[in-house]
Amino acid sequence: MSEETSASSSGGNYPVLLEYPLQSHLTQLIPAKAQKTLTTYDIEFTCIDADGHYIAIGSNVGIAYLYDRRKNQLTRLRNENRDPLSCVKILISLECLVVFGCKSGAVLVFKIPFDSEQELEKFTVEGLHSSPITSLEWVRNGIKFFSGDENGVVVCTEIDHFEV
């Protein structure tokens, strides 16, 4: 479900609940197994976040998936080190920003443009956390996000959208 806010004539804001269709077909788009060298692993979902446009899913084998609800399209987001993903947070602003936290303490940031002519960008932030990421939160304008880890360390990371 999604929550939007509507204003009443009395000036108060009240949440409006919206229902979305079931996404059961989504699990069939994601393979059940992944191969690393000669070993096959079962893919288990470790984290999920959703908004009105996207569903982001992280896995135990370090593979991230982004499902576009409008286009009914699944995109695989690459994590070269295959570190298991522990949490995810989506922010829709000028582009779609998705941040994944890893069990190693690394953080992966993906900029997914709404314009299909632009390319997806990925950034890896390492060395700030030494334990698994347990919580992520974007600042509404997408310039910063906060990451928290298992040891209680909280880091604020700023993204310079003009330098990347």
Is 6 within the bounds of a domain? no
Helices (H), the chain: 26-29
Q: Residues 69, 57: contact at Cβ < 8 Å?
A: no
The verdict on residue 109 lying in a domain is yes
Instruction: Indicate whether 108 belongs to any domain.
Output: yes
Instruction: Kindly state the DSSP code that residue 119 receives in the 8-state scheme.
Output: P
pLDDT value for 8? 47
Please tell me the predicted confidence (pLDDT) of residue 12. 62
Amino acid 10: pLDDT: 52
**Residue 163 has what pLDDT?**
61
Whether 8 maps to a domain, the answer reads no
Instruction: Give the pLDDT of the chain (164 residues) as one tens digit per residue.
Output: 444 444 445 556 777 776 766 667 777 888 888 887 888 989 999 999 999 899 999 999 999 999 998 888 899 998 888 899 999 999 998 789 999 999 999 999 999 988 777 888 999 999 999 999 999 999 998 999 999 999 999 999 998 766 65
CATH number at residue 101: 2.130.10.10
Provide the pLDDT for residue 2. Answer: 43
The token pair that represents 116 in the structure block: 């299909």
Is 10 within the bounds of a domain? no
Q: Per the structure block, which two tokens stand in for 163?
A: 């330098």
127 inside domain = yes
User: Can you give the pLDDT at residue 32?
Assistant: 87
In a domain, 76, yes or no: yes
At residue 77, the pLDDT reads: 92
38 lies in which domain range? 24-158
Q: What is the pLDDT of residue 159?
A: 87
| CA–CA dist 156, 138 (Å, integer) | 10
Tokens matching residue 87: 């949490």
Looking at the domain assignment, is residue 89 inside a domain? yes
Which pTM value belongs to this model? 0.81
At 155 the pLDDT is: 97
Number of domains in the chain: 1
